[in-house]
Structure 1
């Protein structure tokens, strides 16, 4: 039994739409996960109580000095040391004191 070419084309378009919708959902989930991890890092750094303008100003300052050679590597080493000391992974998960919702606990 052969399928009508118009019906088959409609089926393929529907499949493509489903795949695109699934990809958008996965992309939103990945974006939400990234924001949660970044927020957890702000909390762990003790900066969560700054008002938004002050926090953004601090981050812009960091962004301006990040171009200095070896600066990022020194930051990475200090961060890895802090994460190891608390038993956390770099993504904020696992280790002692991690919360069930995946957000890293404040040190």
Structure 2
């Protein structure tokens, strides 16, 4: 069985804000490296952000964009370093600061009281 690849299915508003985040990263990169990202690098970064968001770690792109430079760079670089590009999942327990809260089934499961099974 072939494993499913990453999803890139996100709504238009999130995609537009992700593009603004890529533009901000490009500007910060240019300040620190003396040159901006290539078109290919911008597309790859956008794909990393969208795949992360759509494949298991929903991101709050507006929160990411509004972060101070250090937190913004932490999340962007962390995503690019920890993303499994075959699945779209983040590895090595990295969780971006801009990750949206996700409810899990175990959050609402009744607790076992007094050792009852």
* TM-score, structure 1 normalization: 0.26
Q: Which structure has the larger Rg over C-alpha atoms?
A: 1
Higher relative contact order (CA 8 A, sep 6+): 2
* TM-score, structure 2 normalization: 0.24
Bigger helix fraction: 1
